[in-house]
């Protein structure tokens, strides 16, 4: 019996992460897969309480029904937008997949690479913000780091401006 694939998409709910999510749903996700959204929040940007328990390991896997609820997500400091939720609800219904969210706190480059090994992931799709060479040199490219250090296949969906 084939083990279900764990297909991940790194999301920050920006336009480029929604583009990566759409691409993954259209091109990678198959019936029966687990679609795992990974999001990374800044360290120390949370209230005292249960989130401290997950700072090192990340949150538990949060099912789509729960991360669609703004009240539940407020305690994690994450606000999924309506467009992302629509993409996920449609994919879950049409492809009969399980959709979950995992939240990490810290440096996105490190945490996404940790998630690849700890979950473990079959493959990962990540968006590329299209930073110029100078900004990329100063800020560092998350997608570049994950491609070079991740231990699963990584697809980078480029942020291309479309001409009208």
Question: In the predicted model, is pLDDT for residue 55 greater than 70?
Answer: yes
| Mean local confidence (pLDDT), 35-57 | 75
Contacts 24+ apart (CB under 8 A), 11-16: 11/37, 11/38, 11/39, 11/84, 12/39, 12/40, 13/39, 13/79, 13/80, 13/81, 13/84, 14/127, 14/129, 15/159, 16/127, 16/128, 16/129, 16/130, 16/157, 16/159
Structure tokens of 41?
Answer: 């929040």
C-alpha 50: how far from its chain's center?
A: 21
The fold of 6-158 is Rossmann fold (3.40.50)
Mean pLDDT of the chain: 86
> pTM for the complete prediction?
0.87
Question: In the predicted model, is pLDDT for residue 46 greater than 70?
Answer: no
Question: In the predicted model, is pLDDT for residue 72 greater than 80?
Answer: yes
| Mean local confidence (pLDDT), 98-108 | 94
Structure tokens of 62?
Answer: 């949060």
Categorize the per-residue pLDDT at 42 as very low, low, confident or very high, splitting at 50, 70 and 90. confident
Q: What is the pLDDT of residue 56?
A: 78
Categorize the per-residue pLDDT at 137 as very low, low, confident or very high, splitting at 50, 70 and 90. low
């Amino acid at each position: 019996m084939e083990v279900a694939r764990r297909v991940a998409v790194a999301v920050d709910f920006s336009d480029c992460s929604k583009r990566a999510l759409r691409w993954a749903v259209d091109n990678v996700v198959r019936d029966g897969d687990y679609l795992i959204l990974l999001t990374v929040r800044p360290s120390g940007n949370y209230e005292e309480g249960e989130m401290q328990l997950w700072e090192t390991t990340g949150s538990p896997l949060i099912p789509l029904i729960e991360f669609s609820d703004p009240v539940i997500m407020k305690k994690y400091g994450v606000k999924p937008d309506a467009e992302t939720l629509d993409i996920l609800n449609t994919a879950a219904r049409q492809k009969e997949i399980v959709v979950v969210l995992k939240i990490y706190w810290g440096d996105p480059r490190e945490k996404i690479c940790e998630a690849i090994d700890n979950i473990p992931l079959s493959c990962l799709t990540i968006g590329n913000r299209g930073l110029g060479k100078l900004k990329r040199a100063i800020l560092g490219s998350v997608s570049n780091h994950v491609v070079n250090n991740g231990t699963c296949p990584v697809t980078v969906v480029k942020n291309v401006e479309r001409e009208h």
